Amino acid sequence: MNKVELLAPAGSLDKLRIAFLYGADACYIGGRDYSLRANATNFSNEEISEAVEYAHSLGKKVYVTVNIVFHNDNFKGLVDYLKCLSEYGVDAIIVSDPSIIDIVRDNNIDIKIHLSTQMSTANYESVLFWKKEGVERVVLARECSKENIKEIIDKTGLEVECFLHGAMCSSYSGRCVLSNYFTKRDANRGGCAQICRWCFDLNDGNNDIEDETKFTMSTKDLSLIRYLADMIDIGITSLKVEGRMRSNYYIATVISTYRSAIDDYYDNKLTEDKIEYYSKVLNRVANRESTSQFFDKFPGVDEQYFLGRQEVSNQDFLGIVLDYDQTSKMVTLTQRNYFKPGDTVEMFGPNINTFSFKIPDIYDEEGNKLEVARHPKEIIKFKLDKEVYKDDIMRIKVF
């Protein structure tokens, strides 16, 4: 039995490394052009080559997004770019414009094609059409239900990729033009200003309604941890996490949580207690509420923010391990958020079982004792009896 693929976002080489370290089977990345996340760091051609080489050395995959809505002036240099991606050994490109399929075919470019969620594919007839065109995988619209997805898989036999976790669009995936209208930033060419998350004054048609509460139209985030078994059972090929602009801590937490849950499923160990714990971890790392959205029912008022919301910046991420000296039992880490001796924290990482402990005396890089760690990126040292490893993460104790 082939395990379902866990697909992670990566906005930079370092995020790609973290995603693979914490359990991703594949990463999707964007180049400097033709990609929908213009505000992410994104990858130069040389970095794409390096990312593919690194992934393949681990037996993992890299998919590159080429999924903007193309205008005439966007085609310049595209053929050469696609040929480079083929030469680098990219495992697939993710496209939304049908012209890219013809360009790949007409220029004999040896590369697999996945259809982006930007095409809002939500029925089996469309999937059968794209299958005839040579597409090897379809990333379905986030608006598909469980029954909808299963019918598509059963009637097409094509690989299907579905979003598992992350932000949602207030419109059908890829169909919003609010950003273009309000800010002249083209959402479908990488410049979305996320207008749906703005707060608006209320008006009855003639007069503004005076109220401290502002109107919003933002959807809550997607989280399908409680439906993970269903997603695997119906035959989804790849489970996708959204978030190329998210932090290393977010990527490590979300990917490691779903990695554990997927492995538990195949080992027949995915109990209700574990699902409850994983759900709490995922909710803790997010700054918005999450729901199952369209998967189990048509979403209603509880799946949206209509009258304001709070997006509190997550302060759980305390530091990332740089080194552990087995002789002195001294941890060296780069600090990220405030902590002090006596705080109860926990360590998690790909090679350790999560454990909690109280922060002992802490020291700076020169060995000076500190009362508190309050400067982000400062090098902090302290003793710890349990061995930890480079890139393990220290956070506030979750529960």
Q: Give per-residue pLDDT as tens, 245-262.
A: 888 999 999 999 999 999
- The pTM assigned to this predicted structure is 0.90
What average pLDDT does range 129-153 have in this prediction? 96
Confidence of residue 47 (pLDDT cuts 50, 70, 90): very high
Summary mean pLDDT of the chain: 90
Which of these ranges, 4-13, 168-177, 264-273, 378-387, has the smallest mean pLDDT? 168-177
Q: Report d(CA 78, CA 101) in Å as an integer.
A: 12
Q: What share of the chain is helix, strand, coil (3-state, %, to 5)?
A: 30, 25, 45
- Whether the predicted pLDDT of 305 surpasses 80: no
Q: Which residues contact 326 (CB under 8 A, 6 or more apart)?
A: 387
Confidence of residue 350 (pLDDT cuts 50, 70, 90): very high
9, 153, 254, 317 from 350: Cα distances, Å:
18, 33, 12, 16
What average pLDDT does range 28-56 have in this prediction? 85
Confidence of residue 36 (pLDDT cuts 50, 70, 90): low
Q: Pairing mode, if any, of strands 218-219 and 369-370?
A: unpaired
Q: What is the pLDDT of residue 396?
A: 92
- Whether the predicted pLDDT of 332 surpasses 90: yes
Q: Could you give the percent of the chain with pLDDT greater than 90?
A: 70
Confidence of residue 167 (pLDDT cuts 50, 70, 90): confident
Q: What is the pLDDT of residue 344?
A: 96
Q: Could you give the percent of the chain with pLDDT greater than 70?
A: 94
Q: Report d(CA 240, CA 161) in Å as an integer.
A: 7
What average pLDDT does range 304-309 have in this prediction? 68
Residue from 195, 198, 175 nearest 185 by CA: 195
Q: What is the pLDDT of residue 170?
A: 76
Q: What is the pLDDT of residue 2?
A: 85
What average pLDDT does range 335-348 have in this prediction? 96
Q: What is the pLDDT of residue 312?
A: 60
DSSP of 85-129: HHHHT-SEEEE-SHHHHHHHHHTT----EEE-GGG---SHHHHHH
pLDDT tens figures, 358-393:
999 999 999 999 999 999 899 999 999 999 999 999
What per-residue string of b and e applies to 18-33 under the rule 16 or more CB within 10 Å gives b? bbbbbbbbbbbbbbeb
Confidence of residue 140 (pLDDT cuts 50, 70, 90): very high
What average pLDDT does range 162-174 have in this prediction? 82
pLDDT tens figures, 282-302:
988 877 778 888 899 888 777
Q: What is the pLDDT of residue 122?
A: 95
Q: What is the pLDDT of residue 318?
A: 96
Residue bearing the bigger pLDDT, 24 or 217: 24
Helices (H), the chain: 13-21, 45-57, 78-88, 98-106, 124-132, 146-156, 178-183, 228-233, 248-266, 272-285
Confidence of residue 181 (pLDDT cuts 50, 70, 90): confident
- Whether the predicted pLDDT of 180 surpasses 70: yes
Confidence of residue 190 (pLDDT cuts 50, 70, 90): low
What average pLDDT does range 77-104 have in this prediction? 96
- Whether the predicted pLDDT of 237 surpasses 90: yes
